Amino acid sequence: MLRPWPVSLGDRIDASRDVPLYMQIIQALIRDIERGRLASGTYLPSSRELARVLGVNRKTVVLAYEDLIAQGWLESAGTRGTRVAAALPDPVNRHRSDAEITMSSAVVDYRFAPPPERPIAVSSGPGLKIDEGAPDGRLFPAELLARAYRAAAHRGAQGNGFQYRDPRGSPALREAVATMLKSQRGLPVTAENICITRGSQNGIFLAAQVLVERGDSVVVEELTYEPAVAAFRALGANIVPVGLDEGGIDIEAVEHACRRNAVRAVFVTPHHQFPTTVSMRPERRLRLLDLARRFGFAIIEDDYDHEFHFESQPLLPLASYGPAHVLYVGSLSKLLLPALRIGYVAAPPQVIDAIAHRVSITDGMGNTLTEDAAADLIGSGELRRHGRKVLQVYAKRRESFAAEIDRLFGDLVEYRMPGGGLAFWLRFRTDLDRMEARAAAMGLRLASSRSFMTTGDAPRGLRIGFASLNAYEARTALAALRQAAG
């Protein structure tokens, strides 16, 4: 005589799902045990009987039972059959609802830090996306990347190079980045001054982690890179906005902030200020370094697109003549590919040690294969050759983009031709709130003008990338933006 079976699994086992049948049986039985519908010591039907009821092969049920016994949910009672393990706790206080709970439908009853109401990144999905200055990944030769990966994989396999390693990053890439920064940007660095990160944003966050404690103040410009501000706020920093103009950050305002606050860091993008694209003048750079010495704060210098300049040679980074006071953050995303997520921080060795410790407890280590492939591309000169080629493409796109802006917008927009970088800063003589709402309704996706603002009265504008768009895409994007402007 069959034992009475307290639950039915039939309505939860479905061969059309992409989950294997034996795994569906395991999941259903665990849920019933966890919710108290199957109490400790309850005998289950034989594998043959349950297979008949569910309409599955008996081996499927046997496999499910064996896995559950191995995990400790069930136990074999010899000739008496299989039962729920007696050692499981009393189910009296467990949830007894018959409703199926999934990770998506579960009600979270523990404390966690939710995301902000407005996410930082421009959302993905259908519609036309205008970025804030991304490169065109289609221009990088796929075969070149594949060759670099093949070479890195071959060397790694032969030299047992795929094990856990230094959280500072691949030795080959650290050496290549140090050589690049020394020869092309004037930074007095060696490999010991470099920590490889997962992109520049990761580098900014790691730098902030070793500099900022809750309650410390970080000075930023009134228009700036929102993800950096979000990183500082996540660490409990007090954000102190200061003004900027055509010469860059307002140095008097920085000094005033230092006299009134416990400033631990100043975040700047001096090469091509984000989002306005202006370059910080040399005299302001020197004065900012002088303030760092006097007040004991660190400068986080985000040099996110140093490689792209169209009208003159770029100014040397602050870190090239103030290495003791600057954490220099850079990236290969603009020159190589954003999807590879390769950034770096250059700083004194003791600071790099602190950053590497943070890497070790959050990421463990980076991606050795990708980092070694990137080192190959730098060492072989391929990355520099690619940079020269795309610079010519982007220079033409910049000119065409400006001409299209003039044709479509006329006096409706104010801008200046960016001397470098991959984006324009556009100031509109129209209601921006209305314009952005209409753009969103049309399926146009772009970063909100308010996302760049750290104060309510900061000058408003839109940062519009041109490099990732071919001629047709640029015309389409700007035409849609013009239509949204009314």
Q: Choose among 38, 43, 29, 51: nearest CA to 80.
A: 43
Q: Choose among 42, 44, 39: nearest CA to 90.
A: 39
Q: Choose among 333, 315, 474, 468: nearest CA to 393.
A: 468
Q: Is the peptide bond before 459 cis (omega within 30 degrees of 0)?
A: no
Q: Choose among 190, 209, 212, 173: nearest CA to 363.
A: 209
| pLDDT tens sequence across 126-137 | 778 899 999 999
Q: How is the chain split among helix, strand and coil, in percent rounded to 5?
A: 45, 15, 40
* Order of all β-strands in the sheet with 423-428: 413-414, 423-428, 462-465
- DSSP-derived 3-state class of residue 336: coil
Q: Which residues contact 178 (CB under 8 A, 6 or more apart)?
A: 189, 190, 191, 193, 194, 346
Q: Which residues contact 238 (CB under 8 A, 6 or more apart)?
A: 215, 216, 217, 218, 261
Q: Which residues contact 284 (CB under 8 A, 6 or more apart)?
A: 247, 248, 249, 251
Domains for the chain: give ranges and CATH numbers.
Answer: 10-84 (1.10.10.10), 128-136+385-485 (3.90.1150.10), 140-380 (3.40.640.10)
Query: What is the structure's pLDDT at 10?
Result: 64
Beta strands 263-268 and 298-302: pairing type? Answer: parallel
DSSP letter at 287 equals H
* Residue 359 Cα distances to 11, 17, 364, angstroms: 47, 39, 6
Report the predicted TM-score, pTM, of the whole model to 2 decimal places.
Answer: 0.85
| pLDDT tens sequence across 249-306 | 999 999 999 999 999 999 999 999 999 999 999 999 999 999 999 999 999 999 998 8
Query: What is the structure's pLDDT at 91?
Result: 60
Helices 382-409 and 471-485 pack at an angle, to 10 degrees, of: 40
Torsion sign across C-alpha atoms 138, 394, 485, 426: positive
Residue ranges of the chain with per-residue pLDDT less than 70 = 1-8, 10-11, 90-102, 119, 121-125
